[in-house]
Amino acid sequence: MKSFKNKKTFVTGAASGIGRATAIALGREGAELFLTDINAASLEAVAGEIRKGGGTVTMSRALDVSDYEAVRDYARDIHAAHGSMDLVLNIAGIAIWGAVENMEHRQWRQVIDVNLMGPVHVIESFLPQMVHAGRGGHLVNVSSAAGLFGLPWHAAYSGSKFGLRGVSEVLRFDLRRHNIDVSLVCPGGVDTGLVQTVQIAGVDTSAPFMTKLRAMFQAHAISPEKAAKAILSGIRARRYLVFTSMDIRLGYFFQGKFPITYDIVMRLMNHVMHKVMQRQERVRADAAARGGAR
Ligand SMILES: NC(=O)c1ccc[n+]([C@@H]2O[C@H](COP(=O)([O-])OP(=O)(O)OC[C@H]3O[C@@H](n4cnc5c(N)ncnc54)[C@H](O)[C@@H]3O)[C@@H](O)[C@H]2O)c1
């Protein structure tokens, strides 16, 4: 897809971060936007911002992507009034991490429901119409560095992001005969709302050391606007794997070419996270002991 002008474009997660920046960038490029997010107020604000800047938001509706009926009904309303999409972007997502001994069943479930089943609901509700319309198009699925690597405490999150990578890997070949391209976006650190909303099972994310970790992450992270730029150029270049930063591109190269380096780095990261966890447990135990002594 060389130009986004008048391209009917569906975006999830449009209320914040990468989804918001991508929707705004596409609005500027003349795409006709159909937006969604679970956060109604922020979604409305983004739609207003795009319209104010001269962009076209034809419809926006707040919904939970993990709710199949809600996605299906929105798709039905869009198709009835405006026909099939040219471009579909699955960007909405959540982050829940944690050591396996701390993760609760509902947390595993929620991550898979939102990050994997959400995009599946969107794909099953929008892609058949694109195939039948015969105009070609593009599907973008936002995975993660955690969809490539075995990062510490990311089992549930990686389950959802590797799952999305599997879906994309098959569809990139299945959809080729319909001239529909597929991109799998693997961001590294992006400074978005996710940095504040990430849940880590068994860890108090408001603890001082977490504030420090968050600041370290933000210092290294790129802006959502830069991620959006990488996504738009990935679509233009019809690229399958889209990286938003060099660290992840290099990591992927080393993983493939020098698996031993990958193994060492993952073990090292795991060791560091384990130490962090142990330190937090010690701090918590000391605080409890001090409380008990009073
Ligand atoms: N920020 C990063 O460092 C980073 C790194 C790798 C991958 N990602 C991925 O990028 C995508 C965008 O995340 P972001 O960093 O912009 O975070 P964000 O929190 O700023 O944006 C995510 C958006 O998704 C929406 N959302 C959450 N649950 C939803 C649901 N059930 N239904 C509909 N909308 C829902 C949120 O309301 C929010 O507007 C996610 O899929 C995330 O996993 C982010």
How does residue 292 score in pLDDT terms, banded at 50, 70 and 90? low
Percentage of the chain lying above the pLDDT 70 cut: 99
What's the total number of domains in the chain? 1
Catalytic residue among 157, 240, 252, 262: 157
- Cα(138)–Cα(54) distance, rounded to whole angstroms? 24
Nearest atom in ligand 1 to 95's CA: 43
The alpha carbon of 293 and the centre of ligand 1 are apart by a number of angstroms equal to 43
Q: Fill in the amino acid letter for 33.
A: L
Residues with Cβ < 8 Å from 95, sequence gap 6 or more? 111, 157, 194, 197, 198, 199
99 belongs to a structural domain: yes
**Torsion of the alpha carbons at 234, 238, 241 and 244, rounded to the nearest 10:** 0
Residue 157 annotated among the catalytic residues of the structure = yes
Best mutation site among 10, 11, 18, 69 for ligand 1, i.e. most ligand atoms within 8 A of its Cβ? 18
- Check whether 183 has a pLDDT greater than 90: yes
Identify whether 201 is part of a domain: yes
Domain of 269, in residue numbers: 8-286
More confident site: 226 or 208:
226
> From ligand 1's centre to the CA of 80, what distance in Å?
28
Contact 152, 270 (CB under 8 A): yes
Q: Is residue 1 part of a domain?
A: no
Work out which ligand 1 atom sits closest to the CA atom of 221.
3
Phi, psi of 142 (to 5 degrees): -90, 110
User: Tens of pLDDT along 226-280?
Assistant: 999 999 999 999 999 999 999 999 999 999 999 999 999 999 999 998 888 788 7
Task: Tell me, yes or no, whether 33 lies in a domain.
Answer: yes
| Spatial contact of 182 and 168, defined as CB atoms under 8 Å apart | yes
pLDDT more than 90, % of the chain: 85
For residue 294, pLDDT beyond 70:
no
Query: What separation in Å is there between the alpha carbon of 91 and the centre of ligand 1?
Result: 6
| CA separation for the pair 139, 203 (Å, rounded) | 36
User: Alpha helix (H) ranges present in the chain?
Assistant: 17-28, 40-52, 68-82, 105-111, 118-133, 155-174, 194-197, 208-220, 224-236, 246-257, 259-293
Q: Is residue 15 part of a domain?
A: yes
- What pLDDT is recorded for position 242? 98
CATH number of the domain within which 119 lies: 3.40.50.720
pLDDT beyond 70 at 293: no
Q: What is the average pLDDT score of the chain?
A: 95
Which residues form ligand 1's pocket by a CB distance below 6 Å?
12-13, 15-19, 37-39, 64-66, 91-95, 114, 118, 142, 144, 187, 189-190, 192-194, 197, 224
